[in-house]
Structure 1
């Protein structure tokens, strides 16, 4: 139902005012919807992260108890101290290998987005000389 009387047409100013008001309302509603969606997704992500944390802790406990079981199994054929040292040495080797691989990967890590920087430099060059010609050539 129109808010204008049927006997007169609305002015251009009134129509523009209505369009502006409608756009503002639409923008506010879309913003509110986006905020609600982001909040919902953040809640899901937080719950999932908590579950991953719990799984990691459970995995850690599994490693601890399997290590203890291995130590006690070795203790049947040797002194408990030597069995504990063998299990500790095993985990030291695992840790050393992981540390070495992680350090090697970290050295190859570059925090700067080099491809993006190169592309931006090319874009800037093109913006300065859109025809492909440099000022000297």
Structure 2
């Protein structure tokens, strides 16, 4: 279909296309905002549920500790020894977790490839010389640079 078929000029068609493209971009931005709002809301709800679960888990730890101690006490050991055993089990678990953390953290190394790449890029960029620009007659180099910085701003 040509511009002559519907009676509009090329300028009118370009203006209409620009308006429609602008509207499309605005609608896409609105859709992205709505999706982000929905994702943030889900994230907040999920984080709140995880925090509530953590608090309940923390509150359940003493209850189960007492239950374990009294369970051991029902096997015939004294109450003090029962609580000492439960506390000792927690200490052993903590020590194992600390050893695991130490092993894993000792394997953490700096990002060697990224550092090497950054050094290589810095060395390459430091050896690059800027392209010389011709300075018009009657001007100093600083005036030409000042003029170029004004025109690019």
- TM-score per shorter chain, which class? 0.5 to 0.7
The unaligned stretches of length 5 or more in structure 1 are 1-5, 125-137
Q: 2:48 aligns with which of 47, 50, 58?
A: 50
Could you say what the CA RMSD is over the residues aligned between the two structures, in angstroms?
Answer: 2.9
**CA offsets per residue over residues 42-63 of structure 1, 9 Å max, x none?**
1112111211222222233333
Structure 1 position 35 matched with structure 2 position 19: no
**Cα distance change of structure 1 residues 52 and 108 upon mapping to structure 2, 3 Å threshold:** same
Question: What is the CA-CA distance between 1:16 and the residue it aligns to?
Answer: 1.3
Q: Distance in 1 between matches of 2:53 and 2:100?
A: 24
Q: Distance in 2 between matches of 1:63 and 1:81?
A: 19
**Cα distance change of structure 1 residues 7 and 69 upon mapping to structure 2, 3 Å threshold:** closer
- Per the alignment, residue 90 of structure 2 pairs with 91
**Cα distance change of structure 1 residues 113 and 15 upon mapping to structure 2, 3 Å threshold:** farther
In our comparison, the structure showing a higher alpha carbon Rg is 2
- Per the alignment, residue 133 of structure 1 pairs with none
Q: Distance in 1 between matches of 2:57 and 2:102?
A: 24
TM-score with structure 2 setting the length: 0.60
Question: What is the CA-CA distance between 1:34 and the residue it aligns to?
Answer: 0.7
Question: What is the CA-CA distance between 1:23 and the residue it aligns to?
Answer: 0.9
